[in-house]
């Protein structure tokens, strides 16, 4: 698993939609990869914001992805 694979599966990982095998692969990549770990922390915060906003239904993945990309573009890159 590389970073692209990991990011692709990040939403499914957070939504507990992965099978145990994929889940293990993503988890072990996240443990060893700071970049993806940062992304995971970002997505977790983002999902929490959505929940805290009182949205009873989880937004569709595509919408969440677009909003996350907009949010992310406002955040200065963490890597120098
Ligand atoms: Zn990675």
CA of 15 to the centre of ligand 1 (A): 19
CA of 68 to the centre of ligand 1 (A): 18
Identify whether 43 is part of a domain: yes
Identify whether 31 is part of a domain: yes
Q: What is the pLDDT of residues 25-79, one digit of tens each?
A: 999 999 999 999 999 998 888 888 777 776 555 556 777 777 777 777 665 656 6
Identify whether 80 is part of a domain: no
Mapping DSSP onto H, E and C, the string for the chain reads CCHHHHHHCHHHHHCCCCCHHHHHHHHHHHHHCHHHHHHHHHHHHHHHHHHHCCCCCCCCHHHHHHHHHHHHHHCCCCCC
Identify whether 79 is part of a domain: no
Range of the domain at 14: 3-74
CA of 38 to the centre of ligand 1 (A): 9
Structural domains of the chain, count: 1
Identify whether 48 is part of a domain: yes
CA of 56 to the centre of ligand 1 (A): 31
């Amino acid at each position: 698993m590389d970073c692209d694979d990991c990011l692709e599966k990040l939403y499914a990982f957070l939504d507990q939609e992965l099978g145990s095998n994929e889940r293990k692969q993503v988890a072990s990549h996240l443990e060893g990869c700071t970049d993806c770990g940062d992304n995971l922390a970002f997505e977790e915060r983002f999902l929490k914001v959505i929940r805290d906003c009182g949205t009873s239904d989880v937004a569709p993945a595509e919408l969440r992805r677009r909003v996350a990309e907009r949010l992310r573009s406002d955040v200065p890159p963490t890597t120098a």
